[in-house]
Amino acid sequence: MSAQELGNEIYTLRVNGQSHPVQDAWIGESLLYVLRERLGLPGAKGACEQGECGSCTVVMDSQAVCSCLVMAAAAVDTEILTVEGLGENGSLTDIQQAFLAAGGVQCGFCTPGFIVAVHHLLDSNPEPSEDQIRESLSGNICRCTGYGRILEAVKIVISKRDAS
């Protein structure tokens, strides 16, 4: 059985404000797989495909989700935001800038998931306490940084937003 025969579903996903038709997909493909392998949006990463690491975090209808756990075909009629949809015309958001300035990026594999998760956190709670930051980002694993510089990046964003 080839991929084509596995199912030739045609459906449309709304990603970063644009409609993307998905063709010839196998019905069991995860949103993570479809974003990465079919829609050319490799920003979301897979590191466990079990909902444990948060590398694949995207926002679906204002909820941060693990795209590895969402069936792509079940994501029709939702608005999906990936890391590629942040920042206007290729510019960096304040969160992305803070990650760079604070040293929150080493290998960077966890970074897109963290960036999306931090955007989502600060959109829903602009003034989180340190405990709240830690808890709400505890679904995102980083193996390189020990989280210290990521915490610093989030604090920088909060204080800069406060000041402006």
Partner 1 sequence: MTTTHPTNTSTRAGTLGTNAYRPDGVAKVQGGFAFSSDMWSENMLWGATLRSPHPYAKIISIDDSAALAIDGVECVVTAQDVPGNPYYGLIMSDQPVFAAIGDTVRYCGEPIAAVAADHPETCKRALAAIKVVYEILTPVTNPQDCVSGIAPQIHPQGNVYRHQRIITGDQSIVGDVIVEGTYEIGMQDQAFLGLESALAIPDSGGEGLELYVATQWLHEDRKQIAACLNIPEDKIRLVLGGVGGAFGAREDISLQVHTCLLALKSGRPVRISYGREESFYGHVHRHPATIWMRHHADRNGKILKIESTMLFDGGAYCSTSPAVLINAITHTQGPYKCDTASVEGWAVRTNNPPCGAMRGFGVVQACFAHESQMEKLSVALGLSPVEIRLRNVMETGDRLITGQIMDSVAPVEQCIRETDAIAMPEPLLPNADIRQIPGGTGLTAQPGNIVRGVGWGVSMKNLMYSEGFDDYSTARCRMTDGVVSLKFATSEVGQGFTMLAQQIARTILGVNEVLLDTIDTQVGSAGSTSASRQTWMSGGAVKAACEKVLEDLFDHAALTFELSRDHVRIEETDIVDILSGRRIAVSEASKGVNLDRTEEYHHPPTEDLDENGQGNCHVAFAFVAHRAVVDVDVELGLVKVVQIATAQDVGRILNPISVQGQVEGGIAQGLGLAVMEEIIVKDGKVRNPSFTDYLLPTFLDAPLVEMVLIEEFEPKSPLGAKGVGEPPCISVTPAIANAIRNATGRELPRVPIRPYDICL
Q: Do residues 80 and 14 lie in contact, with contact meaning Cβ atoms separated by under 8 Å?
A: yes
Report in angstroms the alpha-carbon separations of 30 from 26, 108, 136: 9, 22, 24
135-154 positions binding ligand FES, by CB under 6 A: 142-145
Q: Confirm or reject binding of residue 160 to partner 1 (CB under 8 A).
A: no
Q: Which position among 54, 85, 112, 128 is part of the footprint of ligand FES (CB under 6 A)?
A: 54
Count of positions (residues) in the chain: 164
CB of 109 vs partner 1, minimal distance in Å = 3
Q: Which does 65 bind (CB under 5 to 8 A by kind): ligand FES, partner 1, none?
A: none
Residues 6 or more apart in contact with residue 152 via CB below 8 angstroms: 102, 103, 104
Q: Confirm or reject binding of residue 108 to ligand FES (CB under 6 A).
A: yes
Q: Confirm or reject binding of residue 8 to partner 1 (CB under 8 A).
A: no
Q: Which position among 34, 55, 112, 128 is part of the footprint of ligand FES (CB under 6 A)?
A: 55
CB of 44 vs partner 1, minimal distance in Å = 7
Residues 6 or more apart in contact with residue 49 via CB below 8 angstroms: 30, 32, 56, 68
Give the tokens for residue 91.
Answer: 């510019």
Q: Confirm or reject binding of residue 11 to partner 1 (CB under 8 A).
A: no
| Residues 155, 151: Cα–Cα separation, whole Å | 6
Q: In what order do the strands lie in the sheet with 57-60?
A: 18-25, 9-15, 79-81, 57-60, 63-66
Q: Which position among 8, 12, 21, 48 is part of the footprint of partner 1 (CB under 8 A)?
A: 48
Q: Which does 56 bind (CB under 5 to 8 A by kind): partner 1, ligand FES, none?
A: ligand FES
Q: Judged by CB, which is closer to ligand FES: 24, or 61?
A: 61
For CA atoms 44, 48, 49, 53, the dihedral sign is negative
State the residues that interact with ligand FES by CB under 6 A: 46-49, 51-56, 66, 68, 105-111, 142-145
